[in-house]
Amino acid sequence: HKKLAYLVTTHDDKEVMVLDVSAPSNIRELIGARTNLPGGWDGRSLYLHGSILFIGLESGGSDDLYALDASAALTTAAGFPILDSVELRGTALSLRASGNHLFLSKIVGTNQVEVWDISEPSNLQRLSTLPIANLLRLDLDENNLYAITSSAPAIHVIKNN
Interval 24-37: pLDDT, tens: 999 999 999 999 88
Most confident of 53-67, 109-123, 127-141: 109-123
In the three-class reduction of DSSP (H, G, I as helix; E, B as strand; rest coil), residue 155 is classed as strand
Work out the end-to-end distance of the chain between its first and last CA atoms, rounded to an integer number of angstroms: 34
DSSP assignment of 104-135: EEEEESEEEEEEEE-SSTTS-EEEEEEE-TTE
Query: Does the pLDDT of residue 136 top 70, yes or no?
Result: yes
What's this model's pTM, rounded to 2 decimal places? 0.89
**C-beta atoms surrounding 8 within 10 Å:** 22
